[in-house]
Amino acid sequence: MSSTDLHLVRHRGVRAFAVPLTVLVVFALATTLFVVPVRTWMSQRSVLNTKQQEYAAYEDIVENMQDQVNYLQSPSGLRDAIRTQLGYLYPSERRVPMMDTPALSTTLPERWPYTIVSTMMFVKTLEAAQQDAKGKISLDPLVP
């Protein structure tokens, strides 16, 4: 056999066209077999992580709901639900209606007895702001 008989394609013009086409087909086949599945696997992995986080959140919600159901099935939970949701009271209890504090103006006249009160209110407001900055909560009802 001669060297020309070993070639699959005998014409040089066709062979020059067949070699790049073969390389392109091999590259496309390798991309299809390796790159696309890896990309799909990576996207599936991120979707799976998202779904696992959602599932964990739903598990927490279901657990909280089950805790509430268990509490409401207990005698103390039933009593609390009747008191808070239905507004029932024990026979010895009495409901006392409370009115909201009205929104009052803190603007006072600029003359003698009111300037002292305005100054005291200003000082109390500054003290409350300092305590807020420190993270302390004032339980004094006179503090604005």
Range of the domain at 135: 99-144
pLDDT digits (tens, 9 = 90+) for 31-59: 887 777 888 888 888 999 999 999 999 99
**CB distance 138 to 128 below 8 Å:** yes
Residues 27 and 55 in one domain: yes
Residues 103 and 93 in one domain: no
Q: CA neighbours within 13 Å on the CB side: how many for 37?
A: 5
Amino acid at 59: E
Total of domains in the chain = 2
Is residue 4 within 8 Å of residue 10, measured between CB atoms? yes
Output the pLDDT for position 7: 58
Please give the DSSP secondary-structure letter assigned to residue 83. Answer: I
- For residue range 55-76, list pLDDT tens digits in order: 999 999 999 999 999 999 999 9
- Cα–Cα distance measured from residue 85 to residue 68, given in angstroms and rounded to the nearest whole number: 14
DSSP type of residue 3: T
| Shared domain check, 144 and 79 | no
Q: Flag whether pLDDT at 77 surpasses 60.
A: yes
